[in-house]
């Protein structure tokens, strides 16, 4: 049986499948403020070692593998880079808007057999470093054998520490939330959603339970939206090398104390593309496992 284990370092932790690195979590890496420092997974590998992610590519330095990016949080940019300004029709840098998703602690970290669990606390800061949201994340990493895959469960809760926080998406493509930036061999991925649509152009903006992305030379990533997340079924943001559930595509979402927002996602990584029936079975397994 494969053993999942965690190895912590000055930046965060590495996730190992026996002696093979499965992922590197960068919890507190120092990057320019305009890129919005935020925890992320990069690199991520399939069970045989195929690379899935791209980290800080030259075209978008604020794209950091697998991460949560929030374009508008009140008046703060927690995505990185420029904002799309409807009045000019262009993406432009806006001074004194870039915030931080600050890593605070790992209160839970354990691994047993084919599973590893990590809990993390974070604080969202605006451009003046004033706290806006307290976030608690929980990651469960499972090494599966049938099918041969890594199954990740991500469970996060967002609690405002000010009276009201409004989450907004890009004013153009409407992206915000969990995003996977893919690199070779996934840089021109083939997308398929749970409703049978193929190609990122056809998946973009549509509602689906899950979306898969297959690499040109093998490998597959599948992102699954939990059935109890808000705004079901979620719409998706898809580009040839980007994929994520677009929670805010239909409009802003406002959180008021003492309420909080819970979001749950499943992500699976395979060495080879999986048939649709198998992905549907995996989706059912994920929703049954998610607490």
CATH number where 152 lies: 2.70.98
- Asked whether residue 89 carries a pLDDT value surpassing 90, the answer given is no
Whole-number Å distance between alpha carbons of 104 and 133: 12
- Asked whether residue 1 carries a pLDDT value surpassing 60, the answer given is no
Whole-number Å distance between alpha carbons of 39 and 66: 9
Nearest of 55, 6, 10 to residue 183 by alpha carbon: 55
DSSP designation for 55:
B
Tell me the per-residue pLDDT of 175-233, one tens digit each, with 9 for 90 and over.
899 999 999 888 889 999 999 999 999 999 999 999 999 998 889 999 999 999 999 99
Whole-number Å distance between alpha carbons of 255 and 119: 22
Question: Is position 277 within any domain?
Answer: yes
Question: Is position 170 within any domain?
Answer: yes
Question: Is position 262 within any domain?
Answer: yes
Tell me the per-residue pLDDT of 10-42, one tens digit each, with 9 for 90 and over.
999 999 999 999 999 999 999 999 999 999 999
Structural domains of the chain, count: 1
Among the listed ranges 42-51, 81-90, 227-236, which one has the minimum average pLDDT value? 81-90
Average pLDDT over residues 59-70: 96
**What pLDDT was estimated at residue 125?**
99
- Asked whether residue 173 carries a pLDDT value surpassing 70, the answer given is yes
- Asked whether residue 172 carries a pLDDT value surpassing 60, the answer given is yes
The model carries a pTM of 0.96
**What pLDDT was estimated at residue 283?**
97
Average pLDDT over residues 103-123: 98
Question: Is position 279 within any domain?
Answer: yes
Q: Range of 105's domain?
A: 30-289
**What pLDDT was estimated at residue 90?**
87
| Kind of pairing between the strands at 164-168 and 66-73 | antiparallel
Question: Is position 9 within any domain?
Answer: no
Instruction: For residue 20, give both structure tokens.
Output: 């093979």
- Asked whether residue 99 carries a pLDDT value surpassing 70, the answer given is yes
User: In terms of C-beta density within 10 A (0-12 exposed, 13-18 middle, 19 or more buried), how is residue 180 classed?
Assistant: buried
Question: Is position 155 within any domain?
Answer: yes
Question: Is position 5 within any domain?
Answer: no
Q: Give the three-state DSSP class for 286.
A: helix
Binned at pLDDT 50, 70 and 90, residue 269 comes out as very high
- Asked whether residue 80 carries a pLDDT value surpassing 60, the answer given is yes
**What pLDDT was estimated at residue 169?**
85
**What pLDDT was estimated at residue 171?**
75
Question: Is position 112 within any domain?
Answer: yes
């Amino acid at each position: 049986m494969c053993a999942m284990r965690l190895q912590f370092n000055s930046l965060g932790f590495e996730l190992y499948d026996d002696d093979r690195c499965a992922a590197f979590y960068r919890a507190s890496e120092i990057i320019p403020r305009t890129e919005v420092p935020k925890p992320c997974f990069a690199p991520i590998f399939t069970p045989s070692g195929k690379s899935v992610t791209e980290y800080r590519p030259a075209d978008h330095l604020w794209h950091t593998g697998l991460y949560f990016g929030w374009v508008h949080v009140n008046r703060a940019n927690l995505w990185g880079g420029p904002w799309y300004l409807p009045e000019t029709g262009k993406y432009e840098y806006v001074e004194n808007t870039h915030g931080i998703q600050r890593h605070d602690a790992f209160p839970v970290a354990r691994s047993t057999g084919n599973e590893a669990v990590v809990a993390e606390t974070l604080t969202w800061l605006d451009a003046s470093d004033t706290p806006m949201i307290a976030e608690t994340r929980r990651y469960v990493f499972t090494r599966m054998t049938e099918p041969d895959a890594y199954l990740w469960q991500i469970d996060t809760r967002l609690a405002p520490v000010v009276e009201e926080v409004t989450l907004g998406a890009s004013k153009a493509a409407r992206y915000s939330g969990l995003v996977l930036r893919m690199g070779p061999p996934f840089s021109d991925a083939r997308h398929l959603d749970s409703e049978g649509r193929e190609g990122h152009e056809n998946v973009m903006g549509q509602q689906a339970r899950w979306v898969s992305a297959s690499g040109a030379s093998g490998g597959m990533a599948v992102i699954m939206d939990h059935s109890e997340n808000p705004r079901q079924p979620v719409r998706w943001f898809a580009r040839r090398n980007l994929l994520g559930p677009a929670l805010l595509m239909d409009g802003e979402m406002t959180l008021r104390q003492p309420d909080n927002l819970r979001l749950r996602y499943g992500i699976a990584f395979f060495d080879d593309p999986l048939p649709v029936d198998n992905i549907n079975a995996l989706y059912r397994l994920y929703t049954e496992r998610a607490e």
